Amino acid sequence: MDRKWTLAAAAVAALFVSPLQAQDNPAKADDGMPAALTQDELNKIDQGPDTIDVSQYPKEQQANYELFAAKCSRCHTLARPINAPFALPQEWKAYVTKMSHKPRSGIDEDSAKKIIDFLTYDSSVRKKDLIEAKLKAQKPAQAAPAKADQSAAKSGSDAPAKAQ
């Protein structure tokens, strides 16, 4: 919202981006990437809880959580992904991919897959309301009696809670 913080966030981001990557337009959001958070928002998010009680989660997701906790707490607190306003599978895919491409992230493709799987499952448990709100906002056409010629176009967003 305010230019100062946007610039500060961009400066922080630039520290982690290689000179080559930095020549791309960093403000451009691809892949359904949600808008970047302001430094203010990041500060708030970072002060939230930094663990998830996964005792009721399936065994596989408990193992994925360990991986997530180890890999995603190296550069910032784990509270950041835990409290971030992201919930849809495509949002997690975009973010984990972005994070894994940061220099020395230590996140390979296999780990990224498992972490995306975990965050998607976790969102289906902890962020149900957010998912519903996001899906509603994504499909304004449904409210109006639209012609049924583009029905299956975005099938990926119809099954947010499915862990693979």
Q: Residues interacting with ligand HEC, by CB under 6 A?
A: 12-13, 16, 36-37, 42, 71-72, 74-76, 80-81, 84, 95-96, 99, 102, 104-105, 107, 115
Q: How far is the CB of 104 from ligand HEC (least distance, A)?
A: 6
Closer residue to ligand HEC (CB): 36 or 135: 36
Q: How far is the CB of 146 from ligand HEC (least distance, A)?
A: 32
Q: How far is the CB of 144 from ligand HEC (least distance, A)?
A: 32
Closer residue to ligand HEC (CB): 84 or 87: 84
Contacts of 111 (CB under 8 A, 6+ apart): 67, 71, 100
Q: How far is the CB of 159 from ligand HEC (least distance, A)?
A: 21
Closer residue to ligand HEC (CB): 15 or 153: 15
- The rounded distance, in Å, linking the Cα atoms of 19 and 32 is 24
For every residue of 111-151, DSSP letters joined together read: HHHHHHHHHHHHHHHH-HHHHHHHHHHH-GGGTS---SSSG
| Helical segments of the chain, H only | 3-15, 19-22, 39-46, 59-71, 79-83, 89-100, 109-126, 128-138
